[in-house]
Amino acid sequence: MKAGLHSPQTLMIRKLDSIFPLSAEERQALQGLPVQVTLFKADQDIVRIGDRPSQCCVLLEGFTQVYKLTAEGKRQIMALHVPGDIPDLQSLHLKVLDNSVATICPCTLGFIQHEDMRRVCERYPRIAAAFWRETLVDASIFREWLLNIGRREAYTRLAHFLCEFLVRLKVVGLVEDDTFDLPITQVELADAIATSNVHVNRVLQAMRANGLIQTRGTQVIVPDWERLKEEGEFDPLYLHLQQEGDA
Amino acid sequence: MSLTHQPVRVNTGFEEEGVLVFDERHRLVAVLVRLSDRNEVAPGQWFLEAGFGPLSGASYPAFADLDVAQEWISRRLALRV
């Protein structure tokens, strides 16, 4: 279950493969990408808005957040990324970053130089297509989040958020017995689903009381997946998984 | 700015004790709720459950007691008038 046991490239390949099946040769090419592995503490910026990165990072262990701040300093978390994701993949084609990416918990990241990624994309057009598809799926997730935080009740919103997480973590093998690790604070959850930490706490308590979830430290247990899906109005279509992402 | 308040029962699903806060022209500007002791974020504190006019869209602060809450509301209202 520990992501750290894989080679740095394996998780990325597994993730890409889940949305765009790759040939053995293409996997081999990705496996050969030079990756510089770096450890980050919790709540650390990896890249900031306005940066001009010359590399992308693959998340190997932990969770990261994409965020922006209002002038007043209020934070909106626009996306969370799970191991195997490339949270700043857009920097390969957009020179200046328009959002920041920070760690939620201690993370292991693998940095790949843009020039190495470009080289592999030129040689293997289907890998370029896979990366393109990955950014399109990211955009689809942003659209779903917009609907979720803009139009759903807090209870449904959080249930939807948990459903998405469970499915995405399952893809990279990080769910065991309907249990996954979610080391996120209630403040961060509030900033992700656009409500207050007080509301998040009420909703979590209600979900626990209704038997929708159980929590043990940072672990979330989902005893009844069908029920959680129903409560969260969750349809995994927008994740565009090749194999149906039904948990 | 002198504010007044009036006790009210609020159904948040978890709490009931609340106050309506009025400005000097007796207009409702906020609803404060005393959070349940079981709340894990700010047990027993006063929470700005709803704000109107200049207080709408405010971030969601919680306060140690009613006086602190009203002071904060006064300051926010004074900024916008």
Residue B27 Cα, gap to closest chain A Cα (Å): 25
The number of folded domains in chain A is: 2
Q: Which of A112, A146, A180 is a domain's end point? A: A146
Looking at the fold, whether A19 and A139 belong to one and the same domain comes out as yes
- Residue B50 — φ and ψ, nearest 5°? -150, 140
Residue of B nearest to A74 (CA): B59
ipTM: 0.87
Average pLDDT over every residue of A207-233: 97
Q: Are B81 and B23 within 8 A, CB to CB?
A: no
pLDDT of B81 reads 53
Average pLDDT over every residue of A148-175: 96
Range of the domain at A214: 153-239
Q: Which runs of consecutive H residues, i.e. helices, occur in chain A?
A: 8-19, 24-31, 114-123, 125-151, 154-171, 186-192, 197-209, 225-231
Looking at the fold, whether A205 and A158 belong to one and the same domain comes out as yes
Q: Which site among B12, B35, B41 would you substitute to test the A interface, given the most A Cβ atoms closer than 10 Å to its Cβ?
A: B41
Lookup result for tokens 């490339």: A86
DSSP string, A212-239: S-EEETTEEE-S-HHHHHHHTT--GGGG
In the predicted model, is pLDDT for residue A2 greater than 70?
A: no
Looking at the fold, whether A123 and A39 belong to one and the same domain comes out as yes
In the predicted model, is pLDDT for residue A92 greater than 60?
A: yes
- Selecting from A72, A74, A198 the residue whose C-beta is nearest the C-beta of B41 gives A198
What CATH number does residue A190 fall under?
Answer: 1.10.10.10
Looking at the fold, whether A131 and A214 belong to one and the same domain comes out as no
Is position A246 within any domain? no
> Cα separation of B20 and B38, whole Å?
23
Looking at the fold, whether A118 and A22 belong to one and the same domain comes out as yes
Looking at the fold, whether A117 and A163 belong to one and the same domain comes out as no
Looking at the fold, whether A25 and A128 belong to one and the same domain comes out as yes
Residue A160 Cα, gap to closest chain B Cα (Å): 21
Average pLDDT over every residue of A11-37: 93
Residue of A nearest to B57 (CA): A195
What CATH number does residue A136 fall under?
Answer: 2.60.120.10
Cβ distance A205 to B14 less than 8 Å, yes or no, reads: yes
Between β-strands A64-69 and A75-81, what pairing exists: parallel, antiparallel or unpaired?
antiparallel
Token pair in block for residue B50: 């709803």
In the predicted model, is pLDDT for residue A210 greater than 80?
A: yes
Residue of B nearest to A194 (CA): B59
Looking at the fold, whether A205 and A87 belong to one and the same domain comes out as no
Mean residue pLDDT of chain A comes to 93
Q: Are B20 and B28 within 8 A, CB to CB?
A: yes
Looking at the fold, whether A70 and A121 belong to one and the same domain comes out as yes
Long-range contacts formed by A137-144: CB under 8 A, 24+ apart: A137/A19, A137/A239, A137/A240, A138/A79, A138/A89, A138/A90, A140/A238, A140/A239, A140/A240, A141/A79, A141/A238, A141/A239, A142/A78, A142/A79, A143/A238, A144/A238
Q: Are B63 and B46 within 8 A, CB to CB?
A: yes
Is position A247 within any domain? no
- Selecting from B14, B59, B62 the residue whose C-beta is nearest the C-beta of A202 gives B14
Q: Which site among A76, A198, A199, A203 would you substitute to test the B interface, given the most B Cβ atoms closer than 10 Å to its Cβ?
A: A198
Looking at the fold, whether A95 and A210 belong to one and the same domain comes out as no
Task: Spell out the domain ranges in chain B.
Answer: 4-80
Burial class (CB in 10 A: 0-12, 13-18, 19+), A106: middle
pLDDT of A46 reads 98
Looking at the fold, whether A113 and A23 belong to one and the same domain comes out as yes
Q: What residue type is A89 in one-letter code? A: L
pLDDT in tens, B36-81: 999 999 999 999 999 998 888 777 789 999 999 999 999 988 876 5
Looking at the fold, whether A13 and A60 belong to one and the same domain comes out as yes
- Cβ within 8 Å of A, B 15-34: none
Is position A245 within any domain? no
pLDDT in tens, A170-200: 999 999 999 999 999 999 999 999 999 999 9
List CB contacts (< 8 A) between B35 and chain A: 198
Identify the band that residue A244 occupies on the pLDDT scale cut at 50, 70 and 90. very low
Token pair in block for residue A51: 């940066």
